[in-house]
Amino acid sequence: MCEKKLILVLGDQLSFNNPALQQVDPAADTILLAEVTEETRYVRHNRHKIALIFSAMRHFRDELAARGHTVIHYPLEQGLGTLQAAVERALAESGAACVHACVPGEYRLHESMMQWEKTAGVPVTLHPDSRFLASTDYFRQWARGRKQLRMEYFYRAMRKRYHLLLEEDGTPAGGRWNYDAENRGGWRGQVTVPARPRPQKDQVTLSVIREVQAAFPDHPGDLERFSYAVTAQQAQLEFDWFVEHALGHFGTYQDALAEESPWLFHAVVSMYLNIGLLEPLACCRQVEAAWREGKCSLADAEGFIRQVLGWREYVRGIYWLFMPDYRERNGFDAREPLPSWFWNGQVEMRCLSRALRQTLDLGYAHHIQRLMVIGNFALLAGLDVRAVCDWYLAVYVDAFEWVELPNTLGMALHADGGLMASKPYAASGKYIQRQGDHCRQCRYDPARTTGENACPYNALYWRFIDRHEKTLAGNGRMGLVLSNWDKRPRQERRAIVEWGDRVLEQLLRDPA
C-alpha cells in the first residue's frame, strides 16, 4: 500500500473523470502535469495543437489547485526531455512512493510507461481509460469471431448499449439505424453559414502563445488566429453554440466542400473530446435531446451520434486491437515521397490547396477535406503510407495516433487491405465538383481527363484503378468501375494512364 501517490495527468487527459484522479487523497497525494520536449517533437506538431494542450494543461492545473490539490507543473522552459524524467523529478520533490496514471492514448507512450516501474524503481499503476464508451475489452469481445469488422454493426450495438435514439421497444428511432444517404448534400451556398464565437484569450493563453511561437519557429500553425477553447467550461459553450446554431444543417452538409468556410456546420469539437474537455456521452445525449425538442432533424442528430458513438469509438477499438502491426501495413505498396507543398499548400488544385492551407494555418479541416481531398490525393498518387500518417499526426490539432492512424492508414489510404473500409475511398474530380464550389475557381476542369487543363484527380483516379486492377478485382464493390475501365479502348486507357504518370511526375517533383 502506497501512502503518498504521484498522479501523472497527460496533456490529453484533462478531465476530472480521469480514472487516475478518482482515488486522489488531497492531503497526501501530488498531481503532476509536465510539458516535455519529447511529446512536443515526436512529429512536427501544429503550433495550435501545442498551444491548445499547454494552455488547457495550465488551466487544469489552476482548477486542481483551486479544489485543494497539491499540483506540480513543469513548464516547457524547464527543459525536461521526457515524461519519465519529469516523473522522476516529481517523485523526488514530492516524496511520493508510487505513480498512478490513466493509460495513454498512444501505443508508443504506453510501451514506454510499461517500463517505468523497472527504470524508475517505484510501483506504477495504469488505470484503464474509462472516458471512452467502448473499453478495449468490450471491442475485443465484439470483434471476436467476426469475419468483417464493419463499423455499422458496432454502431448498432453501441446505440442499444447506451440507449441512444431508440424507440421504447429498442428499435431505432424513425425505423432506420442510419441516415447516411441524407448526409451527402453538395454546397452551392444554399444557406448562410453562421459566424462562430471566438473565446477571449486570457493571460495564460497569451503567454503560452508567445512561448510556443518562440520555441517552435519551424512548425506549422498561424497562432495569430488561435481561437480554441482551453477549459471544459469554454468547450461546453462552443458545443452549446453548435447545437443551437449549426446542428440543424449538420446532417445535410456533412459531406460538403465550401470556399467560404473551413468548418461549415461541423461541430469543431474533436480536439476537446480528445483531450478531455468534453465527454462523448454527454455530447450525444445533448444532441438527442435537441432532436427530441425539435431543434434538428433525426438525420442531423443520427449523423452526429454516428460519428461520436460509432466512428470515434470504433477507430480506437481497431487501433488497440491491431497495434503495433497495424502501423506497418501498406496494402497498395505506396512509397512515393510526400511533395514539399504538403507543408505550404502551394499547389494549383484549388480544393487541395484550400484544404492544405487551412490545415496548416488552423490545425483543422473537416472530414471530407481530410478524406476525399487530401487523403484521396495521397491514395491516388501512391504517397508513402508512413509519411502520410506522420503528416496527419503532425498537422491537426485533434491528432492522436489512436484516432489518426486508423482514419489515415485504414480509411483514407486503404492500406490495411480493407479491414476498415469495404472499398477504397478513391474518387475523381467529379465527386469534388458535386460536393462543393471549389472547381468554379480552379484552373483545372473536372470534366476533362487529359490535357493541360484537365483536373489531375481524373487521370490519377483511372491510373489508380489500372495499377491496382488485380487487387481490386477481388472486391465485389469495385466490379462496375473495373468493367467500365476495361470496356474502354486500349489506346484510350493507355493515353489516360500516361497522362496520369506525367501529371504525377510534375506534382511530386519536390519531395518534402
**Which of 31, 51, 101, 104 forms a contact with ligand DLZ (CB under 6 A)?**
104
| 3-state DSSP assignment of residue 89 | helix
Beta bridge partners of 45: none
Number of residues in contact with ligand FAD under rule CB under 6 A: 29
Residue whose Cβ sits closest to ligand DLZ: 11
Q: For residues 289 and 256, give the distance between their C-alpha atoms in angstroms, rounded to a whole number.
A: 25
Residues 418, 330 contacting (CB under 8 angstroms): no
Looking at the Cβ atoms of 246 and 277, the one nearer to ligand DLZ is 277
Residues between 12 and 31 that touch ligand DLZ (CB under 6 A) = 12
Pairing verdict, β 98-102 and 5-8: parallel
Q: Is 211 in the site for ligand DLZ (CB under 6 A)?
A: no
Q: Is 252 in the site for ligand FAD (CB under 6 A)?
A: no
Q: Residue 357: which of ligand FAD, ligand DLZ, none does it interact with, CB under 5 to 8 A by kind?
A: none
Kindly list the distances between the CA atom of residue 198 and the CA atoms of 133, 250, 258, 328, 476, in Å, as whole numbers in the listed order.
Answer: 30, 20, 21, 40, 47
Q: Residue 375: which of ligand DLZ, ligand FAD, none does it interact with, CB under 5 to 8 A by kind?
A: ligand FAD
Q: Is 381 in the site for ligand FAD (CB under 6 A)?
A: no
**Which of 10, 267, 389, 413 forms a contact with ligand DLZ (CB under 6 A)?**
10
Q: Residue 386: which of ligand FAD, ligand DLZ, none does it interact with, CB under 5 to 8 A by kind?
A: none
Buried b (16+ CB within 10 A) or exposed e, 175-190: eebbbbebbeebbeee
Residues 34, 13 contacting (CB under 8 angstroms): no
**Which of 396, 431, 444, 457 forms a contact with ligand FAD (CB under 6 A)?**
396
The side-by-side arrangement of strands in the sheet containing 30-34 is 70-74, 30-34, 5-8, 98-102, 124-127
Looking at the Cβ atoms of 47 and 354, the one nearer to ligand DLZ is 47
**x/- string (CB under 6 A) for ligand FAD, residues 171-210?**
----------------------------------------
Kindly list the distances between the CA atom of residue 437 and the CA atoms of 4, 433, 444, 448, in Å, as whole numbers in the listed order.
Answer: 60, 7, 13, 17
Looking at the Cβ atoms of 273 and 432, the one nearer to ligand FAD is 273
At closest approach, how far in Å is the CB of 181 from ligand FAD? Answer: 17
Helix segments in 396-449, DSSP class H: 401-405, 429-435
Q: 126 is written with which cell numbers? A: 495504469
Q: What is the 3-class SS of 51-67, one letter each residue? A: HHHHHHHHHHHHHHHHC
Beta bridge partners of 127: 102
Q: Is 323 in the site for ligand DLZ (CB under 6 A)?
A: no
| 3-state DSSP assignment of residue 105 | coil
Q: Is 129 in the site for ligand DLZ (CB under 6 A)?
A: no
Q: Is 34 in the site for ligand DLZ (CB under 6 A)?
A: yes
Q: For residues 501 and 482, give the distance between their C-alpha atoms in angstroms, rounded to a whole number.
A: 19
List own/partner pairs for 447-452 with CB under 8 A and 24 or more apart: 449/496, 449/499, 450/495, 450/496, 450/499, 451/499
**x/- string (CB under 6 A) for ligand FAD, residues 263-302?**
x--xxxxx--xx----------------------------
Question: CA 472, 150, 173, 251 torsion: positive or negative?
Answer: negative
Q: Residue 255: which of ligand DLZ, ligand FAD, none does it interact with, CB under 5 to 8 A by kind?
A: none
Stretch that binds ligand DLZ, among 104-112, 290-298, 453-461, 485-493 (CB under 6 A): 104-112
Q: Is 412 in the site for ligand FAD (CB under 6 A)?
A: yes
Q: 286 is written with which cell numbers? A: 445533448
Q: Residue 209: which of ligand FAD, ligand DLZ, none does it interact with, CB under 5 to 8 A by kind?
A: none
**Which of 392, 431, 457, 462 forms a contact with ligand FAD (CB under 6 A)?**
392
Q: For residues 367 and 200, give the distance between their C-alpha atoms in angstroms, rounded to a whole number.
A: 27
Residue 106: closest CA among 396, 400, 398: 400
| Residues binding ligand FAD (CB under 6 A) | 263, 266-270, 273-274, 304, 307-308, 311-312, 315, 366-367, 370-371, 375, 392, 396, 398-399, 403-404, 407-408, 411-412
| Residues binding ligand DLZ (CB under 6 A) | 10-12, 34-36, 39-40, 45, 50, 53, 104-106, 109, 400
